[in-house]
Amino acid sequence: MDIILLGPPGAGKGTQAHRLVEHHGMRQLSTGDMLRAAVKARTPVGIKAQAIMEKGELVSDDIVSELIDAELTAMGSATGAIFDGYPRTAAQAEMLDDILAKHGRKLDHVIELKVDEDALVERITGRFTCAECGEGYHDTFKLPAKEGVCDVCGATEFKRRPDDNEETVRHRMDVYRSETAPILPGYEKRGIVHRVDGMASIEDVTAALDDILV
């Protein structure tokens, strides 16, 4: 089963994708994570993408689609894919159709996480992760039980994304509204769109997704 998780930055796509990987043995394909890894490794793609990402602009459709194509080539056809943060433009949505057809796959569900934008700014600007295991935390909603120590792995280093500041977040939301939201009607015509309340608790959102995926 292949699905797209759609929603503005901070809607919980990454968090839910992690949980679907655990519950359903699917694979998370996050172009944001792939690009951050490329930036860290200083690959040619990473060097090109870094400044664009820091401004909250979109990296080129060709670059992200090639990343997705390469991941699908590397993974077996038996494993379901969760597209997280891709597609983000009409052109990417078309490219994804072609890529899936090439790999003999098809899209089963597009799930939109509906959220309140002002609340998202607080969600995003407060978030940080363990530098070691990637566990997610939040200044207001989820601090580690012991200050400065990761609950999961005990590491003491944490990191924040450079594009998680208020100005960039607001811009990323504008980009979502103008570039990404318009791809939904095309999927609606195919009858594969589901809407889930992304402001509900993490557990409730996961339960709603589990219901869709059964």
Residues at the site binding ligand AMP, with contacts judged by CB under 6 A? 9, 31-32, 35, 52-53, 56-59, 64, 85-86, 88, 92, 163, 172
Tell me if residue 105 is catalytic.
no
Nearer Cβ to ligand AMP (3/35)? 35
For ligand AMP, the closer CB: 146 or 159: 159
Active-site residue, from 13, 19, 27, 123: 13
- Whole-number minimum distance, CB 148 to ligand AMP, in Å? 25
Give the residue at shortest CB distance from ligand AMP. Answer: 32
Catalytic residue among 19, 27, 36, 88: 88
Assigned token pair, 73: 């080539």
Structure tokens at 128: 């940080």
List Cβ<8 Å contacts ≥24 apart for 125-130.
Answer: 125/164, 125/165, 125/166, 125/169, 127/10, 127/160, 127/161, 127/164, 128/158, 128/159, 128/160, 129/158, 129/159, 129/160, 130/155, 130/157, 130/158
72 forms beta bridges with none
Catalytic pick among 105, 161, 170, 195: 161
By C-beta, is 58 or 107 nearer to ligand AMP?
A: 58
Active site residue 27: no
CB of 146 to ligand AMP, least distance (A): 28
**Closest distance of CB 193 from ligand AMP, Å:** 18
Q: Is 172 a catalytic residue?
A: yes
All residues at 6 or more sequence positions from 107 whose CB lies less than 8 Å from its CB, including other chains: 2, 3, 4, 96, 97, 100, 187, 190, 192
Establish whether 161 is a catalytic residue.
Answer: yes
Catalytic residues: 13, 88, 127, 161, 172
